[in-house]
Structure formats: C-alpha cells, structure tokens
Copies of this chain bind each other. A is one copy, B any other.
Amino acid sequence: MTASRDVLEKKESCSHSQDPSETNLKPTASTWTHLARVNPAVGVVDSLLRGVGQVMFQNNPITGLLFLVGIFINSYKYGLTALLGSGVATLAACLLGADRALIRNGLFGFNGVLTGIALSVFLQWDGHVAVYIILGTIVSTIGMMGLAKLLIIWDMAPLTAPFVLTAWLLLFALYQFGQLHPTMLIGPMPVRPGAAIQTDLQDVAGSDRAVGLTATNLANVLFRGVGEVFLQDNLWTGVVFALAILINSRICFGFALLGSALGGLTALVLGGNGVTIYHGLYGFNAVLTAIALGGRPDGLACPRRFLVPNWWSTIYALIGAIFSAVVFAAVAVALSPIGMPALTAPFVLTTWVFLLPMSGFRALQRVSIAECASTNSLVRLRSPESTRAE
C-alpha cells in the first residue's frame, strides 16, 4: 500500500535494476524477466502482454498471451483492436511520462485493451472507428492516472472504471454522429413493469436446440461468463481464458469459475432472461468481483491491497459476486432508455462498495503492510514488475 502510494507521489520512476535484492535472481525463473529488462523490444512486448493479463488481475505475460490467443480464436478483428488499444494506451502513458514501473506492469494497458475491443464490438468498423479508438485509449490512460490520484485517498484502485467511463462517453455520443454506425447490440429498450420474461436457458430465443439446465448449456453459462470479461461471447475463448488464469494462480482460477457460476445461478433463481444467462452476461462482472474480493496475493498474480484469506473474506467475496449480478441487471435497466451496455460497471461499483469498509470490519483484514512487503520481496525474486501497484 505505502509502496504504491510512493510510486504515485514521487516523480522519479523506480529503477528496479538498481535493486540489490535482484542480483541473485535464479536464471530459470527470470530469463524472460531479465530479457524484458535489458532488451527494449522484449520489454515492450512484456508490458503489453501484462496489460492484457491485468484485465483479470493477472500480472503475467504468459497469461496475457493466452488471453490474446483466446480473443483471436473468437475474432481476428477483436484481437487486432485489443492490440491497437493496448499499444496506444501504453504509448500515451510513455509519452506523458507516467511512472515506468506502472507502465511495465501493464497498468495503462488493460483499460486500453478493453476500450479498443468494446468500440469494435459495438460500432461497425471503418476508419472513423479507428480514430475513435485512438482517442478513447488515450483518454483511458489519462483517466487511469486521474482515478488513481483520486482514489489513493482511500487506498483504492481504479479497477476498470477508466475503461467504463471512456467507453460509455464514446458510445453514448454515437447517436449524434452520422459517421458512426452502431452494431445490432445497441438499441433502446423501453422498460415495462410486469412484462413476461422468457426464463428458459437457451442459446437463441425460440431455438430448437436443447433448452433448460443441460450440461452443454451450463458449460456455456460458466465459460462464456469468463469470456465476456473481454466481451468475447465464445465458449472456447472462455475455456482458454480459464486455463490462462490457472497457469498463473489456482486460487484466482477457482474464484473466477465460482464467480461465473454464482452470477449465472443468481439470475436463474431470480428469473433472468435465459438467453442472456446462456451467453454469460450475468457472469462476467461476478468473475471479476470474485477474483478481486477473494483472490489472494500469492505469487505474481492476485491483487494486493485486498483481503487476507479466511472464511469470512471468502463468504464476503461470494456475496459480492451474487450482488454484482443484481447490479448488472440494475445498470442494464438504468441504461435501457438509451440502449447502452453495462460493461464492467457492476464489477467496479460492487468491488468499491465491498472494499471501502474493510478496515471497519474486524472479521475482514486487509493484507497488512508487513505481509505485503514479504510477499513483494518473494515476488521480486521472480519478477520485479510483479505487483499490481496502482
């Protein structure tokens, strides 16, 4: 915590290479890390991959690479806009002179990745959209630093709020601009109290394929929920994403799947639309909320500044995941008059609400500074850019 505050407060970037504790790095664990530090080209690739990984709190270039693979499996276009967003956002951070440790950890990349994908998912592709994505990713970098400064008062992280705010503003505006054309995913939907909702779990409304709680349908709910974190509505993409998390952290993997399951289950119990549930839309915010609240600072991966693991914090994380599914429905309704998507706003809102009171609840404990320090030094032996430090 104090470390991240320092990083933000001081002007000089921390040059990790001067750290004496890193002189005895084991060669096996740190070959890539070493290369990333001495070779600028590898360093750039490393930063970009970590940026992709940070979307799900995984500060690991291999996880980031697998996330990209998963996106390309679903769509080349989304993969390319993810790279564009990641590159522009990170370049903007470099040009503006952001702290290098933050850049290396991919903390300016993950909002750019999501902004790039979201604009290409909700807008029909043409040259104007490319300009729009570049503008949006630059603003996402500015918003990331701005929100980090705003929230450091409470020792809170911006999460994906810079992406949500930037993408919302750019998407709202499209109704006023004749050169931008929305895809079919966008459109106002007047609310009707007491309207009948089709609650059968299925792929497409009125489809002939298997309807209800079949194994196939449930697998789709589970893994599409993970895939939708990157707006990828694809079963196999979700499976690749889950494996990518597993490589980095078993605990985060567990909470990701648990979150997706709980999000879908909450919607099933309350009678949500079966098609919406099938495509994982009740799951992706719960995935992120469960990782953020339940993930532990083990190794390279999960966020510091969060909860010390115990039974209470696990229950707390699961209540958060359930609530985030309700918040998804609420945000969708609030935006229905203008037909806009909820994005990851439910995750951001729920996680902020659940992290803010931590120090007031004795049953929960933030990771103490001492514990962080030891974790960090352990981590630093493996990778100097290993902590999500925003």
Contacts and interface: CB of A to CB of B under 8 A. Distances in A.
Interface string A189-210: 0111111110100000000000
B135 A357 contact: no
A330 B276 CA distance: 26
15 contacts: A97-B363, A132-B270, A145-B356, A145-B357, A148-B357, A149-B356, A173-B327, A177-B197, A177-B271, A178-B197, A178-B270, A178-B272, A186-B193, A188-B193, A334-B338
Interface string A348-383: 000011111101111110000000000000000000
B168 A330 contact: yes
A362 B102 CA distance: 13
Contacts of A215: none
A271 B181 CA distance: 11
Interface string A107-138: 00000000000000000000010011001001
Interface stretch (A24-32, A246-254, A318-326): A318-326
A188 B194 CA distance: 12
Contacts of A360: 8, 98-99, 145, 148-149
B363 A96 contact: yes
A193 B11 contact: no
Contacts of A359: 9, 11, 149
B177 A330 contact: no
A171 to B, nearest CB: 8
Interface in A151-166: 153-154, 165
Nearest to A197: B178
A143 B179 contact: no
Contact of A169 (B138, B182, B330, B364): B330
Contact of A180 (B148, B177, B271, B322): B271
Contacts of A333: 172-173, 175-176, 338
Task: Indicate how many identical chains form the complex.
Answer: 3
A96 B173 contact: no
A297 B97 CA distance: 23
A267 B172 CA distance: 14
A150 interface: yes
A373 B352 CA distance: 34
A4 interface: no
A353 to B, nearest CB: 5
Contact of A361 (B97, B169, B336): B97
A261 to B, nearest CB: 17
Nearest to A181: B194
Given A175-B329, A177-B267, A177-B329, 4 more contacts: A139-B319, A142-B353, A142-B354, A334-B338
Nearest to A95: B363
A239 interface: no
B326 A169 contact: yes
A359 B131 CA distance: 27
A309 interface: no
A170 interface: yes
Contacts of A143: 353, 357
Contacts of A339: 191, 193
Given A145-B361, A179-B269, A312 B196 contact: no
B197 A329 contact: no
A179 B270 contact: yes
Interface string A236-275: 0000000000000000000000000000000101111100
